[in-house]
Structure 1
Amino acid sequence: MTTAPEDADALAKRRATVAQLRATGLSLREIAAELGTTKDAVYRDTQALSRDTATPPDQDCRAPVAPDILAVALPAATPQSGPATPSRDTATPTATPAVPTLTVPLDPALLADLATLTRNGTSPQAAIRRALAYVAGTYRQAWEAGVYPRDTNPVIERHSYVPYRPPAPEQAHT
């Protein structure tokens, strides 16, 4: 069964709305009432959204191009640890230290922002790290300068850009 483009657009818009309403804590029934549809339709939308943001098992770590970003999900929130293996020197089991991970629901707005940050080929992980470091650094500066109390998120109003300078072309050495 194929879906007409108008139907696909309407479905995509409804699913985006469902994701936003779900993020606010509304129940399936409340969302259905607000959208004028059935709770079963809303349930199918949430299931489709979950499938759309799941990481395929065979996905590699290369940065996706912007249209493919919808298929990217953050790693599972369970610490990864390797199997205990005997140490060569002591013959006692040692475990690989657990690495904390983070799971964030990928709502349409977050996906759009992530697509923007990865448009130039940056991996999602690197883009998130850079954005988080930028905001955290700005917060620290505002708190340390006493502009905001430490229990208040500073408002970032202005940005400063360094002018782009293309790299100089390499000259052939003869």
Structure 2
Amino acid sequence: MTTAPVSRDTLTARRTRVRHLADQGLSLREIAAELGVSKDTVARDLAVARQADAADRTPDATPDSGSATDETRLNMAVTPRMTDDFAVLADAGLPREVAVAYAVELLANTYRHAWMKGLTPRRVRPTITRIVVQPEGEHHA
């Protein structure tokens, strides 16, 4: 099945709407249902929006502005496995920064969901036992 390309204006409007609904407290699944897109699309849109927000908050690299804080920069070693993982995500069209933001958000949302539903006590890492994968745009019932 061929889908029509999404215009930049439409994409920007959707990402703005996704961010607005998330700020209202809707879950990824609720936002996806509202907009008629997949939960993964919503998560990716939020990751891109948050990356843009973080970039907006990152101080300029001028002598007067000082250096970036731990809140705006993450410095860590990239292992060979992570390099391979980044290559896989790049094949799917995700730049490193977006991939990291998306992965962190996806994991954090999984934790929040487990805590909110009482599946594990708050501050206890839940064990992820199953992942459902489907092509983007398809909805899992």
| Bigger relative contact order (CA 8 A; separation at least 6) | 2
Sort the TM-score into its range (normalised by shorter chain).
0.3 to 0.5
* Structure whose residues are more often helix by fraction: 2
Structure 2-normalised TM-score?
A: 0.45
Q: Whose Rg is larger?
A: 1
Structure 1-normalised TM-score?
A: 0.38
